[in-house]
A and B are shown apart, each in its own frame.
Chain A
Amino acid sequence: MAPSQTIYAPSMDKLVKSLKGQTLETSIEAFIHLLKRRQVKGDECADATAHILRQVVAKSKWNDVDQLLSKVQAVGTRLARAAPHEPVIGNIVRRVMGLIRDEASEDRNADDLGSEAASDIQSLATAIAPHTQAAPPQRPGPIPFRPPPLTSVASFHVAKPKSMFNLLSVAETAESSITAASTPLSQAAPTSVHALRSEVLDGIEEIMDEISQADDQIAGFADVQICPGDYVLAYLPSRTVERFLVKAAAKRKFTVFLVSLEDPYTTTGEASHAALRKKLSSSGVKTISIASNGLMAYMTRISKVIFGAKIVYQNGGLLVDSGASVAAQAAKAHSKPVIALGGVYKFCPEDPSDEIAGEAGDSSTYVSYADGLKVDALEVENTVADYVPPELVDLYLTNLGPQTRHHLAAIMADHYKAEDVGYSFLSNE
């Protein structure tokens, strides 16, 4: 490789590559500063957090579960406070903590319950599909066990997730594997710290797999959600939305209204959308670019509005790129369905706070610093994220399939432990 392509700017990829050789503290601080300098943002944060927590579990010294939990929590708090604008970090930390609790409770109960319990679980696993109230294995209480070998890691097909919802909506052969929660499923009862460590590490790998595959899985539902002849409004399409549209374009003929930022200074945003346009048109889908301020006029023709959610709050509200809430309001006014795309890892068991939605970004996104008169005269307020209230969202399309607002609580309960939900990473006790 010619050295003229050498990139010096630090990035998450570089950090992940160097994780092995670094001490834990170095990695954590490096990540915190990447977050603060905005060199890691958006969807990357989730994956990066998982990487860092994996290092915490692997490298730090702990003798029992409580120590591990407090270590993970402490690091998680530091990360979350470094980037209050990225609540997804908190989600991952909670997921990992829940995972540790699971593994630990398995340990404790392993001796008490024999194979009897295991077969209980097996029957439970097969019984999950028909029951609407899926029994979350994490539910604190009498069922501490995970299903037996048939759902072992090796046979775990993340690429084809099955849940009760896509069982109903997707006509594919159903297997009785539990994939709703991607925490590791193992029958082996770890008897030592060492075993627990490797179990937890496996679990974190699973979470990382889930994060990396979420976009593809969501895109898998594209042909169900998009009908031939649809007019779809994509507001500042995120990576998830782009994949979704491209996947849909392979099977359906529809029209995309693309709202992109009218920003002469952003070159990167333009380029990525240009790639999307190219892909769409190569599969015969027409794209129409519209300005965000002309949205309302087009709304009558539009049949669906699609957003990529940054965060789905427990009340069903969304954190989205700024400006998208206007699109949601417009859709509501015309009674058009709004579909929010986002992996389950983006589900945040908290209520939205003003602080996050009001996060201010770079003034030079909208006004060039070279414009002296404007720099002196204007106060540029660039809010990076918008909050979309739950009543404006009709459907949440996750990697587990389409969900409605009423089932969000169940998903949250599936993925997070009650103990962790109550803990706020941002408050200064």
Chain B
Amino acid sequence: MSSKQGAKGGAAAAKAKKPTKAGAEEKREDVLQAVVIADSFQDRFKPFTLEKPRCLLPLAGVPIIEYTLEFLAHNGVQEVFIYCGAHSEEIETYIHESTRWSPRSVVSPFSSLEFIRVSDANSVGDFLRDLDKRSLIGGDFVLVYGDLVANIQLDEALAKHRARREANRDACMTMVLRSIGVEPHRASQSRVITPVFAVEPDGRCWQYEEIHPLQKEHKTLWDQNVVELPDFELRSDLIDCGIDICTPEVLALWSESFDYELPRRNFLHGVLKDHELNGKMIYTEILDRGYAARVSSLPMYNCISKDILERWTFPFVPDNNLAHGQTFKRIREGSCFEDNVPIPRGATVTKSVIGRNSKVEEGVKISRSIIGRRCKIGKNVKIEDSYIWDDATIGDDTSIVQSVLANNVVIGKGCQIPAGSLISFSVSIGDSTQLPPDPVPRISLLTYEKTLATTNPTLVGQSGKGALFLEEQDDEDDSDSEADRNPASLEKTMFYNLAHLNLSTDSISTLASHDSYDSDADNSFGSLPDSSRNVRERLSSFASDDSGLSPDAFHSDAVHGLLDALRADDSEDFDSAKLEFMGLRLANNASDSSMRRAIAVAFARRAAELLSPEHGGLEPTKSAEKTFTSKRGAIKFIREVGVGRDETNLQAEFALALQKALLGVRGLEVGRAGALLAAMLQQLYNLDVLEEDGILAWWGDSRAGENEGLTKVKEKCRVLVEWLENADEEESEEDEDEDSD
């Protein structure tokens, strides 16, 4: 039954799809499909990712993608599609040579595993649009990244997703999120961008925002729709592990929006913003058990490595030997050693992992570190909180703190490697070198353009090889300008420090401000009953802030766009103006009230314009009629977008907006404005946009008469209102008469 429904949903989303798809879907209903995005289009792991893709970097001795695939196997996924971008050949080779995952291997837990190459992809969005074209996906599928480490069971989330999708086919996506509590947590400290979700108690997500410490304005805007929900939570205490359970409609949505690149900042934000237009609903599944995180940056690499050492990721821990050929054994003091790791007397190893055939000399102290295979560690070496990959050689008396050393690195005797150092593949550092702690050393043999860098002997010593790795310099110059600084710059080091950035973090939350003409915005935000609103974590200041929005780019653009459309003589159609308006609204993240205001202002100006002699000097009634009826679709546009839902208070809001807008039209005297308002209201009443309840509610609203100008304008409408009231009475009298008959 549900398969039929699902097919219907899919067909609605993309009618052009072949009819055979429904049959295929039915057949595949019990096969779980997963899509792995193995390229992140980021360069947070440079310089390491110059030579190896992120998902093949070792995490506790195992390439990260192993964790992802094992997670999928853990959840009974049958068909896997992997999208690779950079280094795609290397990933394909790795998988094909792996005894466990190779599609040819009989022991693979997946019935199929396919690589999909997209030659011109520049973002995750390009991958998903490509996937939509291929019609590979039969039903619900799991979308993950190639850097996921998780041990959760998705069955429950999948079942809930399916139940919601069956109840309402617009519930198209479920995001799996892990709550990490309100206390300071190393996982929340390791991320730069904090996602904030506005979530209803049933899990429906209404709005998504991102905050990061480099924002120019420390606040986020919350939509009117969100604020008006009876009960919701703003959650910034969630790890977004990037596991999305999607219906095929999600891919159709991606295809509709060709400019979406990022699954969260663009896609999620956009689809939620637009939910009134597309009707789609996105849900969250917030887990408070299990482990799920993405190795999305170096700080997260550090955090997840620690979690693995401390067994939060169980059963994905070294001594479980999930990867092929591993033979780790857990020994005392929380360390895990593979075969043939002799620890001499006098060497201390605590809470660390050491790979096969690594040689540790006397007097070595290793704590909370992960050391790969075949490493040679000289006498009296001190290693703390560091990650050393395979085949590294470290000379006697060297000390290494909080650093990452890639494969084949050679460190001479008596060196000091300071915290945060990233030493890339095959770099060698001469004897007695002390790397400077600032800037944080990132040493690589290659430059940004992947050419061989010239060795810098002052940095790496006379016998060393390698140079400081520098970023591309093109967009550095405007970093101090007004624009938000890019948070990505913080994610490129393992331990970022915000102290020198001089940031204020007092308030990072603001609700959508009311319109600028609404100088004393209604106090409903301030007076929210605390019991029904739960504000999590740092979102402590939760008051409305009106000053924040003063240069309202949206307003002027929108008004001009609409006015142009209304003035245009050549076209009868209003649809393109509507489309443009919705686009603007999305781009600017505009609230319902600012839309209403823009629409009111545009129509008021047009009507006022028609009164003036150069446009014909029409009477107010004629002018109002011409304004609203000359363009097809204009009335529909006001009804749907300007007023919104069919509710009395929204109609009153629109009338109020119109009143204020008319008052604000330059060169229009108050008396004329009042007459025009009455004419426009009557016209809207006749056109069924406003009902008499709406107009009466506006009449009764104290805001409509709060200053002299407004009162004067309002007075002019008394006739209309009285007529409405009388009509009402007459009607009811008639009703009574009829009743009495």
Contacts and interface: CB of A to CB of B under 8 A. Distances in A.
B322 A372 contact: no
A361 B184 CA distance: 25
B158 A8 contact: yes
Interface residues of B, number: 54
A36 interface: yes
B75 A9 contact: yes
Contact of B109 (A5, A30, A38): A30
B288 A370 contact: yes
A36 B180 contact: no
A7 to B, nearest CB: 5
A359 B330 CA distance: 8
Contacts of B334: 379, 381
A375 interface: yes
Contacts of A265: 289
B109 A2 contact: no
B572 interface: no
Contacts of B100: 29
A371 B179 CA distance: 10
Nearest to B339: A428
A25 B315 contact: no
A26 B107 contact: yes
A68 B29 CA distance: 41
A355 B328 CA distance: 12
A132 interface: no
A60 interface: no
Contacts of A25: 106-107
A7 B179 CA distance: 24
B159 to A, nearest CB: 5
B186 A372 contact: yes
Given A10-B76, A33-B109, A3 B162 contact: yes
Contacts of A364: 289-291, 312, 314
Given A37-B70, A381-B334, A361 B76 contact: no
Interface in B307-335: 307, 310-312, 314-315, 319-322, 327, 329-330, 334
A363 interface: yes
A5 B107 contact: no
Contacts of A382: 311
Contacts of A8: 32, 75-77, 154-155, 158
Interface string A245-257: 0000000000000
Contacts of A4: 2, 159, 162-163, 166
B76 A9 contact: yes
Interface string B108-135: 0100000000000000000000000000
Looking at chain A's contact residues, is the secondary structure mostly helix, strand, loop, or mixed? loop
B163 A39 contact: no
B683 interface: no
Contacts of B77: 8
A6 interface: yes
B181 A23 contact: no
Interface residues of A, number: 44
Interface in A362-389: 362-364, 368-373, 375-376, 379-382
B315 A37 contact: yes
A428 B106 CA distance: 26
B329 A355 contact: yes
B73 interface: yes
Contacts of A10: 73-74, 76, 109
Contacts of A23: 106
Interface in A215-232: none
B487 to A, nearest CB: 21
A358 interface: yes
Interface string B263-292: 000000000000000000000000011110
Interface in A1-57: 2-10, 14, 23, 25-26, 28-30, 33, 36-39
Contacts of A36: 315, 320-322
A15 to B, nearest CB: 11
Contacts of A428: 327, 339
Given A2-B1, A4-B162, A363 B312 contact: yes
B417 to A, nearest CB: 24
A185 B43 CA distance: 68
Contacts of B155: 7-9
A6 B29 CA distance: 9
B98 interface: no
Interface in B171-206: 178-181, 183-188
A291 interface: no
Contacts of B3: 3
A25 B106 CA distance: 7
B256 interface: no
Contacts of B291: 364, 369
5 residue pairs, one from A and one from B, having the closest CB atoms? A372-B185, A29-B107, A8-B76, A370-B181, A362-B314
Given A82-B321, A372-B188, A379-B310, 15 more contacts: A3-B3, A6-B162, A9-B155, A33-B73, A33-B109, A33-B322, A360-B330, A362-B312, A363-B311, A364-B289, A369-B312, A371-B181, A372-B185, A373-B183, A375-B310
Interface of B: 1-3, 29-30, 32, 70, 73-77, 100, 106-107, 109, 153-155, 158-159, 162-163, 166, 178-181, 183-188, 288-291, 307, 310-312, 314-315, 319-322, 327, 329-330, 334, 339, 351
Interface of A: 2-10, 14, 23, 25-26, 28-30, 33, 36-39, 82, 265, 355, 358-364, 368-373, 375-376, 379-382, 428
19 contacts: A4-B163, A6-B30, A25-B106, A30-B107, A33-B322, A36-B322, A37-B322, A355-B329, A360-B311, A363-B311, A363-B314, A364-B289, A368-B288, A369-B291, A370-B288, A372-B185, A372-B187, A375-B186, A381-B334
